[in-house]
Amino acid sequence: MSTPEEGEVTGSSFARTATINVSDLTQYLFCPRLVYFRAKGYKRDRIVKGKERGMIERIILKELAFNLDTISGGEDEVGVGEREEGEDAKSIIEDIVDDIEWIYKEELKGVKRDLFEVVKRDIVCSMGTDEWLSKVRNGLLELEEAQGYEREHIVVSEKLGMSGSVDKLIRADEEVIPCVIKTGKCPEFSVWRSERVQLAAYAMLIEEEFETTVKRGFVEYIRTAEFRESRIRKKDRALALQILKRVKRIKRGAFPEKGVHAPCDTCSFIDRCETRKTLLSKLLGK
């Protein structure tokens, strides 16, 4: 979800004045041209035609991830026990889902009401299964359960020229740990490469703010209730910094190559991308 510091750019002057967001690094890994067109001030469609259901699912799943403690029978974000006598987890999930349209009002603007209600019902049914609930209760991060977390903590580094919003920030004794929520497919082992880069970037931001060393992070794959720990490795830090430099060059106007696995079929920039490619070919005499 877009947060204020992750919002769309509004002009080319952005390239000279604003910091790079961690979301720019992950966008670069999908396709560098996504970064380019956003930096030029072209806004992506909020809802890609034919992909409305997936967008609604991602919003609902992310909000459920912010309420795992409540679902599993613990306390809510303000420290008050939510579950009343006789109330089951599915009822609590329904309550959480019912609040989605108020929390994500801007993101859901234009979504058809009937479709939204269908997706809500399907999510409640699939997430409220005994298997999913069992995995949440047994797999809920011990540190998150014991220490709680700060939701969407904003971190900024003037030294790096980078900022970001960490989904969950867990503080345990002297340790500060970033945790990111993912609504997509969970890998068989470990975490995806883009998520290692994301955690490494957050780690460097957190280290500057809290004057500490971040040695690990977590990824929560909410759809399947999988919770993975990922060590913050030197190679991931190096890759994050390398991508940061490339993103800065793109923000200054460099037109990058398209990503090998670019999601062209769902990209709202595809027409601009092809037009720019044609213009470059003509200029280069190709």
Residue-level pLDDT at 277: 56
pLDDT digits (tens, 9 = 90+) for 11-23: 343 334 458 999 9
Q: Are strands 162-172 and 150-157 parallel, antiparallel or unpaired?
A: antiparallel
The pTM of this model reads 0.84
Q: What are the Cα distances from residue 44, in Å, to 10, 57, 153, 154, 164?
A: 12, 19, 25, 23, 19
Among left, alpha and beta (phi > 0; psi -120 to 50; other), residue 159 is alpha
Q: What are phi and psi of 20, to 5 degrees?
A: -85, 140
Average pLDDT score over the chain = 83
First to last CA, the chain: 40
Confidence label for 262 from pLDDT (cuts 50, 70 and 90): confident
- In whole angstroms, give the CA distance from residue 145 to residue 182: 18
Q: How many CB atoms lie within 10 A of CB 12?
A: 13
Instruction: Tell whether the model's pLDDT for residue 230 goes beyond 70.
Output: yes
Confidence label for 45 from pLDDT (cuts 50, 70 and 90): low
- In whole angstroms, give the CA distance from residue 213 to residue 218: 15
Whether 101 and 108 have beta carbons less than 8 Å apart is answered as yes
Whether 3 and 152 have beta carbons less than 8 Å apart is answered as yes
Instruction: Tell whether the model's pLDDT for residue 76 goes beyond 60.
Output: no
The proportion of the chain whose per-residue pLDDT surpasses 70, expressed as a percent, equals 82
3-state SS class at 164: strand
